[in-house]
Amino acid sequence: MAKRSFLPLRALPANDAPDTNGSRTLIEQTYATLRDAIIEGRLAPGSKLRIEHLRVAHQVGAGTLREALTRLVSDALVSAEGQRGFRVAPIAIEELEDITRLRVHIETEALRLSIRHGDAAWRNALTAAYEALSAEERPIAPGRRRQWEVLNLRFHEALLSGHASPWTLHVLRLLSRHSERYRSYAMGLPGSERDVHAEHREIYELAIAGLEARAALALEAHIWATPHVLLRALREGTVVLPGSAPAALRQA
């Protein structure tokens, strides 16, 4: 089968959530816009980020742009090249596997603790997040993937909110952004069709029922589902990620 490289399917809204308090600074807005462009593949992995070009395109000063890019470096979405500027971080099969393993390790244990310690307020918040997500993903409309991503993140965070851990939340938000980056390239792959709503429903029902072991297993399968499709395609050489080496060169 011929190899094919994936390009972003469409441009999506820049912000991952509405600005409800009007307090976002220009740096934060620029950071969010660039972050989403990287996650969605509109800024290709490994591509050079030219300050002058981006400054004109986003109508911001060089200082604002550099501050936004520095924040993206801390998110591991951009790499700094000393005096040579900035470049979009590359993507690779090994990174996807590492991200997914780490997500499973942290998120399943956090879910167990959340179920164990969650109270009525947690159950109500989880139900509200699940219902909002359900309304958006039956099915996921092609033009509303950004809205679905926001609600999907909120649902996953609500699952874990029964046992408050700010550091867990911080780390998982970073991992979720990188997972979403790879998910953009898995969309539309043969064999990638999933009943995502059924997966979420199972996790929700098991969590609400207090069945922590079964809920953790369902969450683990859910987290690995899309990576497995993409990893299989990469290993078979039917898809090449932008900026990555051919799969055959990476196999042991």
Residue finishing a domain among 59, 88, 117: 88
My answer on whether 179 and 198 are in the same domain is yes
Read off the pTM. Answer: 0.77
- Whether residue 246 is predicted with pLDDT greater than 70 in this model: the reply is no
User: Is residue 66 in a domain?
Assistant: yes
My answer on whether 115 and 19 are in the same domain is no
Cis status of the peptide bond prior to 142, with omega within 30 of 0: no
Are 68 and 54 in contact, with CB atoms under 8 Å apart?
no
Distance in angstroms (rounded) separating the CA atoms of residues 223 and 107: 9
Angle among Cα 17, 126, 174 to the nearest 5 degrees reads 45
My answer on whether 83 and 153 are in the same domain is no
User: Is residue 80 in a domain?
Assistant: yes
My answer on whether 69 and 97 are in the same domain is no
Q: Which domain holds residue 29?
A: 4-88
What pLDDT, on the 0 to 100 scale, is given for residue 252?
37
Q: Which of 85-94, 114-123, 148-157 has the highest mean pLDDT?
A: 114-123
Number of structural domains (the chain) is 2
My answer on whether 156 and 182 are in the same domain is yes
Write out pLDDT tens, residues 168-206: 999 999 998 898 888 877 766 665 667 889 999 999 999
My answer on whether 76 and 102 are in the same domain is no
Residue length of the chain: 252
Average pLDDT on 215-227 reads 94
Distance in angstroms (rounded) separating the CA atoms of residues 212 and 184: 30
My answer on whether 102 and 196 are in the same domain is yes
User: Is residue 247 in a domain?
Assistant: no
Q: Which band of pLDDT confidence, cut at 50, 70 and 90, is reported for residue 138? A: confident
How many DSSP H helices and E strands does the chain contain? 10, 5
User: Is residue 102 in a domain?
Assistant: yes
